[in-house]
Amino acid sequence: MKYQKIPALSGIDLIKLLRKEGWIEHRQTNHGVALTKKISDRVKVTIIPKGKTSLPKGTLMAILGPKQTGIGAKGLLELLNRKKS
């Protein structure tokens, strides 16, 4: 079964997915986990709330957006489908 819509993801689930994609845990913060990844000549940093509850859709979309991870909704679906196979 392939994902066609983004499922509800917790912060912990998203952290696991991003680690598999090459993101490295930089440090723990009060609000979550700071992940970093070197992309060409830049280092991107994002902070993911570390919790077991589902991330609000706006928070998830902000994390996936170009200013943080740059993955986008389509990229997340590809990651999820690759994980399922």
Q: For each of the chain's 85 residues, which pLDDT tens digit applies?
A: 688 898 999 999 999 999 999 999 999 988 799 999 998 899 999 999 988 899 999 999 999 999 999 999 999 999 898 876 6
Q: How far apart are CA 30 and CA 73, in angstroms?
A: 27
Q: Are 45 and 36 in contact (CB under 8 A)?
A: yes
Among candidate residues 20, 30, 8, 28, the one with its CA nearest the CA of residue 69: 20
Domain ranges in the chain are 11-84
* The domain defined by 11-84 carries CATH number 3.90.1170: no
Considering the entire predicted model, what is its pTM? Answer: 0.88
Residue 51: predicted pLDDT: 86
Would you give the distance in Å from CA 22 to the centre of its chain? 11
Q: How far apart are CA 19 and CA 35, in angstroms?
A: 8
Residue 31: which residues within 8 A CB-CB, separation 6 or more? 47, 49
